[in-house]
Structure 1
Amino acid sequence: MAAGRPAVAVDMAGHGLYARRPRWFTEQPYDPEAVGPEVSPVADVSLDDAAELLTSQIKRIGGGEPVTVVAHSAAGPVLTRVAQQAPELVAHAAYLSAYMPASDVPAAAYTRMPEAAGDQVAPLLRGDPSQIGALRLDFATDDAVYRQRLYEAFYADVDPALADAATGLLTPDGPMGIMLGTTTLTRDGWGSVRRTYLTCTKDRAIGPALQARFIAEADAAFPDHPISVVPLDASHSPFLSMPDELADIITSLG
């Protein structure tokens, strides 16, 4: 609850309550050689699946009325699809250092663009995403160097103890299908929805240059309805490093 307004966190398809963990993640003893090759149990999760789930969640939360939806990181393409297909359900689409792909462009394509140079997440991935069907991080390892790099990529301005607790809530596989799906954007769909991009100026997972590209592409596609931009002096997880400030900003979006 923020400023008298309810806020509801929902799990995305393939995550949280909808996640399925690969065997290597729970088997003992831990075998680092098993991490890379196992096909992900969420390899079948698509952008269509994720959008269908989010749409049902929005309808349940809003009772059929439009709501403000905040998408973080890889949830961006899901919000884009929902706002395109059901703009009447989205009062405001807020992208928090999230992928916001252009029309008919998969989010995965942006990881190969010049603006993604210096991305600190790609070197941490385990396995071949095209073979295992997931973007996989090794949250089970006790390798101190690897875990420090995870911290720097996702939580650089977060108290280390809090960051460690947050990491413990995560499952290792993000469905690649969400990153490979595309959405055709139209003026009456996504282009009609109020949109804000909250940039994270210290982000090392989705860097400032890539965030700027998302914004520029959106404005070029819909120049009569430019996206609002709110900069945050934060790394990739401002909901942990500056939760009160972030809540105030989101509440102000209306």
Structure 2
Amino acid sequence: MSRPTFVLVHGANGNAGVWSPVVLELAMLGHRAVAVDLPGHGLRAGYPPSYQAPQDLAAFAVEPSELAGLTLDDTVGFVTDVVRRIAAHGPVVLVGQSLGGVTVTGVANRVPELVDHLVYVSAFCCVRLPTVYDYYLTPEGGPSAVLAVPKVGDPARTGALRTNWRSADPAFLAAAHRAFLADGSEAQLRAIVAGCQPDESALLSFTDARIDPAAFGRVRHSFVRLTRDLSIPLALQDRMIGEADAATPDNPFRVHTLDSSHLGYLLRPQAISAVLAELAGTG
């Protein structure tokens, strides 16, 4: 069997670039990897003029988003096409980070025969509850620090969940630091948020994204737990793992654990890359 290709899917407000340290490390380990920009992300992202400097915060709060109307079906369809083309050349290990979990779940539901291994890196795997929003309402999800990161404007008006990553407000930076990179420095946090885009589709968090046990159960799947993650708390990660294992008891999650915050593993890519390389060897 030929060596697999890793297909890496980013989370909310992200793009393919967030995976660059991991792509580099995997390449140095002799593996092929490609990170994708979901529709409306990366070079296709929309940056409202009011977001530029000097910022017009009043306009930024109401300006319609170019991501308004972007659906889970759109992101699943896009990644499915990528997976289909890559699968023509060998096995695919499909990896989702954070909110990217709902997209990779959708791909596995749609084309399980094309995914050799499915990996969630502290990512949403909806099983008993339909949406990401529902999981944040649970006792395990309620303490999430991401809920304290301020948003801008009304999603019903802008069509997106909007964040001002260019804010210098100490309260905002403190909330973002705690939520995403509590094990990193303030300088590292600023470097990460500088690459974030302001808008994320609200529909991705409010659309039914549950696994189809008949399809999901056909795919080998692994979960990388992040013990210091305050955005998707460890208890919530474990809840989703347990629910999935109950739904597909003959094919439970292969579980790996890293000592990391929600994004801290990207600053130390050797550990996550070693886990992924191990999975590539097991199929």
Separation in 2, partners of 1:38, 1:119? 28
Pick from 62, 65, 73 the counterpart of residue 90 of structure 2: 65
> Which moved further from structure 2: 68-77 or 12-21?
12-21
Secondary structure, in 3 states, of the residue corresponding to 1:68? Answer: strand
Note closer, same or farther for the CA distance 1:153–1:145 as it changes in structure 2 (3 Å cut). Answer: same
Deviations 1:141-198 (A, max 9, x none): 1212211221221112234333322211110111112222224533431121111111
Separation in 2, partners of 1:103, 1:39? 33
Pick from 257, 260, 272 the counterpart of residue 231 of structure 1: 257
- What 5-or-longer segments of structure 1 have no aligned partner? none
Other-structure match for 2:195:
169
Separation in 2, partners of 1:206, 1:184? 17
Note closer, same or farther for the CA distance 1:184–1:163 as it changes in structure 2 (3 Å cut). Answer: closer
Residues 103, 182 of structure 1: 8 Å contact kept: no
Residues 67, 91 of structure 1: 8 Å contact kept: yes
The one-letter code matched in structure 1 to 2:277 is: T
> Following TM superposition, by how much is the alpha carbon of 1:93 offset from its aligned partner in structure 2, in angstroms?
0.7
Separation in 1, partners of 2:213, 2:266? 35
> Following TM superposition, by how much is the alpha carbon of 1:16 offset from its aligned partner in structure 2, in angstroms?
1.6
> Which moved further from structure 2: 53-62 or 197-206?
53-62
Pick from 55, 70, 87 the counterpart of residue 30 of structure 1: 55
Sequence identity percentage: 34
Other-structure match for 1:147:
173
> Following TM superposition, by how much is the alpha carbon of 1:220 offset from its aligned partner in structure 2, in angstroms?
1.4
Pick from 43, 46, 61 the counterpart of residue 20 of structure 1: 46
TM-score (norm. length: structure 2): 0.82
The two structures, once aligned, show a CA RMSD in angstroms of: 1.9
TM-score (norm. length: structure 1): 0.91
Other-structure match for 1:120:
145
Residues 191, 222 of structure 1: 8 Å contact kept: yes
Residues 200, 208 of structure 1: 8 Å contact kept: yes
Secondary structure, in 3 states, of the residue corresponding to 2:270? Answer: helix
Residues 133, 175 of structure 1: 8 Å contact kept: yes
Note closer, same or farther for the CA distance 1:130–1:2 as it changes in structure 2 (3 Å cut). Answer: farther
Which stretches of structure 1, 4 residues or longer, exceed 4 Å deviation after superposition?
none
Other-structure match for 1:211:
237
Deviations 1:124-146 (A, max 9, x none): 22333344332222112121221
Secondary structure, in 3 states, of the residue corresponding to 2:274? Answer: helix
- Please tell me whether residue 99 in structure 1 is matched to residue 124 in structure 2: yes
Secondary structure, in 3 states, of the residue corresponding to 1:54? Answer: helix
Residues 30, 140 of structure 1: 8 Å contact kept: no
> Following TM superposition, by how much is the alpha carbon of 1:13 offset from its aligned partner in structure 2, in angstroms?
2.4
Note closer, same or farther for the CA distance 1:22–1:51 as it changes in structure 2 (3 Å cut). Answer: same
Secondary structure, in 3 states, of the residue corresponding to 2:116? Answer: strand
Secondary structure, in 3 states, of the residue corresponding to 1:192? Answer: coil
Residues 148, 175 of structure 2: 8 Å contact kept: no
Other-structure match for 2:13:
none
Q: How many residues are matched?
A: 253
